[in-house]
């Protein structure tokens, strides 16, 4: 019997018990739909995390002031006025493996433009800040090293600030006032949206660090020094060398604790990525269990079918059908059940994923790999769990099968 005839016979056998066939496929349908949905949500979460981490910059190391104690009360990390501009300069010049360094400090201000105003953060940084923080400009330009040295009154607006102060989009070249100091807007940052912690990254005004220190706060210490390493492999070296350099510059004895803290953000990034990958695998593994359960359902129904059709199998063997024809026929029936169930489950999975993205506000990402994986696995389940009933049917004794009632 040729393969076409086997497919026809298998289809007719399934169609005779349509209700039972649909119930048998239900496990595969649910399994494939669950795998597609789980992988779409997992991939979406991983992509969202990767996007958020990428927006922070690459291979980052952050130095913040340490704690200080006043009146017996420890004020916590960041309270010590230990970091200066010269520290950032020394790190950029002396620490190997550094791609870029930017000092930064910030303060809050009511920024005014004409008859509009907006409460935001004024961030003082160096000219290398866009490269270190991986930030591009939507309009205009960033300030130069010379403007930083001269404490120029220039500002680059975040997208949120620009939208609220200049609704018509003509911010570049206009004047904004912060703490009674007028700044000329020379650029607008590209929008990044909210950070992973819910903070609006676009709600800020960026000015030269020297302008912030001399014209607004009057402080000569830094809130942080952000360092970008040339590669992930060098971040630990940058951390160790930066720590040694700052201890030397701050004249700390071996018994004195650091008056600063060095944080390797790339480790945090890797932890986030690894966690999201584990969560995606966990979701897919749980969903795969549904496919296995569906496969067990196929095996049970196929065993019932073999029992019900024992006499039919005996007649076919008696008139010349070979054992491999019987084996192939029942394998095709099992494979047909799993493939049809896979197609239906694939449809429901895509619909469920899209619905989760639209109504639940989740990030989803349906990849061709996840579609092929789930569909291929459903076919594999059909073959694996259909083989035992098919082999059992193929090994029936023709004479005993003909006697079966």
The residue extents of the domains of the chain are 3-52+271-403, 81-258
pLDDT (0 to 100) of residue 71: 43
Q: pLDDT-based confidence at 211, cuts 50/70/90? A: very high
Q: Is the pLDDT of residue 316 over 60?
A: yes
Q: Is 45 helix (H, G, I), strand (E, B) or coil?
A: helix
Q: pLDDT-based confidence at 198, cuts 50/70/90? A: low
Least confident range from 80-94, 242-256, 370-384: namely 370-384
The average pLDDT across 364-390 equals 81
Who's near 166: CB < 8 A, 6+ residues apart?
113, 157, 174
Beta strands 154-157 and 181-189 are parallel
CA-CA distance, 266 to 61, in Å (whole number)? 7
Q: Is the pLDDT of residue 197 over 60?
A: no
CA-CA distance, 96 to 108, in Å (whole number)? 35
The average pLDDT across 362-374 equals 78
Higher-scoring residue by pLDDT: 300, 283 = 300
Alpha helices in 2-113 (DSSP H): 3-16, 18-56, 85-94
Contact yes or no for 113/166 (Cβ under 8 A): yes
Higher-scoring residue by pLDDT: 148, 19 = 148
CA-CA distance, 92 to 102, in Å (whole number)? 9
pLDDT (0 to 100) of residue 268: 61
The average pLDDT across 89-115 equals 93
pLDDT (0 to 100) of residue 41: 77
Q: pLDDT-based confidence at 70, cuts 50/70/90? A: very low
Q: pLDDT-based confidence at 269, cuts 50/70/90? A: low
Mean of pLDDT over the chain: 82
The average pLDDT across 131-151 equals 93
CA-CA distance, 187 to 108, in Å (whole number)? 20
pLDDT (0 to 100) of residue 216: 94
The average pLDDT across 362-369 equals 77
The average pLDDT across 28-56 equals 72
Higher-scoring residue by pLDDT: 342, 179 = 179
pLDDT (0 to 100) of residue 387: 83
pLDDT (0 to 100) of residue 225: 94
Q: Is the pLDDT of residue 157 over 90?
A: yes
Contact yes or no for 23/294 (Cβ under 8 A): no
The average pLDDT across 110-139 equals 93
Q: Which residue has the tokens 């079966």?
A: 404
CA-CA distance, 311 to 55, in Å (whole number)? 69
The average pLDDT across 86-93 equals 94
Residue 254's CB is within 10 A of a number of other CB atoms, namely 5
Least confident range from 136-140, 165-169, 192-196, 350-354: namely 192-196
Residue 98's CB is within 10 A of a number of other CB atoms, namely 22
Kindly report whether the global pTM for this prediction surpasses the value 0.85: no
Q: Is the pLDDT of residue 6 over 80?
A: no
pLDDT (0 to 100) of residue 246: 93
Beta strands 98-113 and 224-229 are antiparallel
Write out pLDDT tens, residues 213-265. 999 999 889 999 999 888 877 888 999 999 999 999 999 998 888 888 888 87
pLDDT (0 to 100) of residue 184: 96
Q: Is the pLDDT of residue 25 over 90?
A: no
């Amino acid at each position: 019997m040729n393969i076409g005839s086997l497919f026809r016979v298998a289809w007719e056998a399934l169609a005779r018990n349509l209700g039972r066939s649909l119930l048998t496929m239900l496990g595969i349908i649910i399994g494939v739909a669950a795998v597609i949905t789980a992988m779409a949500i997992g991939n979406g979460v991983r992509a969202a995390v990767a996007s958020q981490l990428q927006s922070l910059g690459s291979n980052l190391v952050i130095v913040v002031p340490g704690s200080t104690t006043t009146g017996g009360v420890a004020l916590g990390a960041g309270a010590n006025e230990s970091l200066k501009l010269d520290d950032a300069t020394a790190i950029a010049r002396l620490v190997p493996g550094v791609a870029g360094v930017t000092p930064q400090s910030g303060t809050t201000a009511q920024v005014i433009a004409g008859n509009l105003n907006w409460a935001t953060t004024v961030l003082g940084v160096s000219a290398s800040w866009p490269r270190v923080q991986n930030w591009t400009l939507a309009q205009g330009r960033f300030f130069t090293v010379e403007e930083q040295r001269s404490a120029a009154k220039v500002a680059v607006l975040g997208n949120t600030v620009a939208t609220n102060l200049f609704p018509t989009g003509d911010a570049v070249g206009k004047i904004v006032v912060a703490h009674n100091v007028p700044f000329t807007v020379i650029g607008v940052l590209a929008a990044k949206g909210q950070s992973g912690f819910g903070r609006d990254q676009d709600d800020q005004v960026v000015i030269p660090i020297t302008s912030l220190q001399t014209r607004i706060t009057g402080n000569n210490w830094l809130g942080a020094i952000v360092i970008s390493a040339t590669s992930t492999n060098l971040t630990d070296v940058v951390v160790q060398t930066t720590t040694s350099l700052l201890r030397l510059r701050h004249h700390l004895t071996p018994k004195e604790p650091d008056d600063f803290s060095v944080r390797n953000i790339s480790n945090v990034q890797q932890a986030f990525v690894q966690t999201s990958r584990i969560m995606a695998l966990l979701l897919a593994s749980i969903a795969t269990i549904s496919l296995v359960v569906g496969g067990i359902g196929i095996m049970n129904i196929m065993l019932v079918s073999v029992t019900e059709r024992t006499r039919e199998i005996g007649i076919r063997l008696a008139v010349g059908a070979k054992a491999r024809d019987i084996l192939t026929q029942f394998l095709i029936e099992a494979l047909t059940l799993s493939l049809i169930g896979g197609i239906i489950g694939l449809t429901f999975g895509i619909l469920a994923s899209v619905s989760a993205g639209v109504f639940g506000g989740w990030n989803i990402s349906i990849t061709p790999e996840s579609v092929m994986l789930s569909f291929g696995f459903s076919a594999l389940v059909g073959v694996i769990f259909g083989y035992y009933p098919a082999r059992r049917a193929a090994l029936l004794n023709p004479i005993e099968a003909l006697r079966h009632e």
